[in-house]
Amino acid sequence: MDMKGRSIVSIRDFTHEEIASIVAKALEVKAGKWPQAMRGKVLATLFFEPSTRTRLSFEAAMVSMGGQVIGFADPNVSSAKKGESLADTIRTVTGYVDVIAMRHPLEGAARLASQVASVPVINAGDGANQHPTQTCLDLVTIHEEFGRLDGLTVGMLGDLKHGRTVHSLAQALSHFRSRLVLISPPSLRMPDHLKLELEAAGCAFEEVPTLESVPCKLDVLYVTRIQKERFADFQEYERVACAYRLNRETLAGACSQARIMHPLPRVDEIAEELDGTPNAIYFRQAHNGIPTRQALLGLVTGAIR
């Protein structure tokens, strides 16, 4: 599969084979197969919205493969502040670098950038829409744990309405005959249009209101944060957040063997007492951001084939 020149904008753009191939390349990179593959190449990290974790992960990925990085982490220092359009910023930067990683607060910004750029654009988050490199690293972590992506039972817990990571992960897993168990309060259920997409893709899923009502053994439990600002009533938030908090007690039953994942940062939705258990793989998941982004940077620039 040749991905040279291709932008990574949305997980929706990728087939089953392409996703499987990206995951395989990330595992090769992690095994040390492509050292210094980015030597002589330059990455621009354009962060129109702050994100320390994702930006550092992209920069570390590039530098440790011998590449160089230019960019900005604060839109106030870019010419967007002077009123330059995003399209013009991209048209300019595209002449300086081999690949662009961009985060922007507006949805669809990465798609627009990919249309005007002459080098590949990797979406590092466009508002509430997509964050495809996060999804890829989630899949790499799952593959690393189970040796496969096919046929796993994956629980998704928390805010399934607003959480873009669970939306993209569900879309990706729908290619792999997964069974999804969607665990959320009624007010934070996965949006209907996404459920229709899962149905159309033939992905089996069920919705349950609590961890106790999970009907089957889970291979993975993907936890997301329930954000305070989604609730008008603070007491209601406290009640809901408390009911979805994961600890030794709530992890019993169907979830007892499940690998726990989380896109991080965590606040208090996973008790620290679980950090040392074999279930907890969320920090390893975060570390997989490096080989995953290295694989993507290499694939789209043609440095990895």
Catalytic residues: 53-54, 82, 103, 131
Sheet holding 179-183, edge to edge: 204-208, 179-183, 153-157, 220-223, 259-261
CB 158 within 8 A of CB 226: yes
Cis peptide leading into 265, omega within 30 of 0? Answer: yes
189 binds other proteins (CB under 8 A): no
150 binds other proteins (CB under 8 A): no
82 binds other proteins (CB under 8 A): no
Say which DSSP state 245 is in: -
Look at phi and psi of residue 190 and say left if phi exceeds 0, alpha if psi is from -120 to 50, else beta. beta
What one-character-per-residue DSSP string does 205-226 give?
A: EEEESSGGG--S--SEEEE-PP
The total number of residues shown for the chain amounts to 305
The site that binds other proteins (CB under 8 A) totals a number of residues, namely 19
Of the candidate spans 34-42, 67-75, 124-132, 181-189, the one that interacts with other proteins by CB under 8 A turns out to be 124-132
273 binds other proteins (CB under 8 A): no
Place of tokens 């997964």: 178
104 binds other proteins (CB under 8 A): yes
Hey, which residues between 210 and 229 contact other proteins (CB under 8 A)? Answer: none
To the nearest whole angstrom, how small is the minimum distance from the Cβ of residue 127 to other proteins?
5
Question: Measured between alpha carbons, how far is 236 from 29 in angstroms, rounded to an integer?
Answer: 45
100 binds other proteins (CB under 8 A): no
108 binds other proteins (CB under 8 A): yes
Shorter beta-carbon distance to other proteins: residue 27 or 87: 87
Of the candidate spans 27-35, 109-117, 140-148, 275-283, the one that interacts with other proteins by CB under 8 A turns out to be 109-117
170 binds other proteins (CB under 8 A): no
153 binds other proteins (CB under 8 A): no
92 binds other proteins (CB under 8 A): no
Structure tokens at 278: 């074999």
- 131 forms beta bridges with none
To the nearest whole angstrom, how small is the minimum distance from the Cβ of residue 103 to other proteins?
13
Cα-Cα-Cα-Cα dihedral sign, residues 223, 228, 229, 235 = positive
Question: Measured between alpha carbons, how far is 83 from 7 in angstroms, rounded to an integer?
Answer: 26
Of the candidate spans 55-63, 105-113, 265-273, 277-285, the one that interacts with other proteins by CB under 8 A turns out to be 105-113
127 binds other proteins (CB under 8 A): yes
268 binds other proteins (CB under 8 A): no
Residues that bind other proteins (CB under 8 A): 10, 12, 85-87, 104-109, 111-112, 126-130, 193
